[in-house]
Chains A and B, each alone.
Chain A
């Protein structure tokens, strides 16, 4: 299976900060990379699919980049509702889809 490794595992940031989360795949996955947000006690929700494409209804402060093995999720100006855990997931290796271990974004 393709291993997905996120860094950092957690971070502390303030409202208004620019936040970057990195995801690395154990092999080339092209741009078949998705990002999810999970708020405490809630189900995950899709933020970005295909590395770059913002899911409908997701604020434009979220953006994704990368290709091959290295990917980035950026939040341009952190808002109070963005404090959550973020997961990357590869959809390249059907059907063995795998998630990163998560990055928890906490209030500084």
Chain B
């Protein structure tokens, strides 16, 4: 059974940093692409970042480009999101989501989701 468990959320200062983790079980990160998707309180879903199954391709949404970095540790089967230069607009529940495919060309549909970790950016 596929399971995704996010952690690392909390209160972050504007301009500060947080690192989110997503521990995956039931499948191998090497075989599937992964994304982070966020949901601001009471709002809809926003795709944030992507990493391919090989780890060689990463993408970012415009609002986070240059501030967030997606990575993974295949020995731990864990996905990360390093969040720097935090802004109030980054306040959201952050989900990690498993893609149906490994490659970037076929990616973009998310068949398993974690329960999310809440990030609040406030002074």
Contacts and interface: CB of A to CB of B under 8 A. Distances in A.
Residues of A in contact with B, size category: 20 to 34
Contact of B116 (A43, A46, A49): A43
A5 B50 CA distance: 23
Interface string A82-96: 000001011110111
A32 interface: yes
Contact of A46 (B35, B62, B105, B109): B109
A87 B59 CA distance: 22
A79 B79 CA distance: 36
A23 B114 CA distance: 25
Contacts, number: 64
Given A87-B44, A87-B45, A96 B113 contact: no
Interface residues of B, number: 24
Contacts of A102: 44-45
B50 A43 contact: no
B44 A95 contact: no
A64 interface: no
Interface string B1-30: 000000000000000000000000000000
Given A99-B45, A102-B44, A45 B105 contact: no
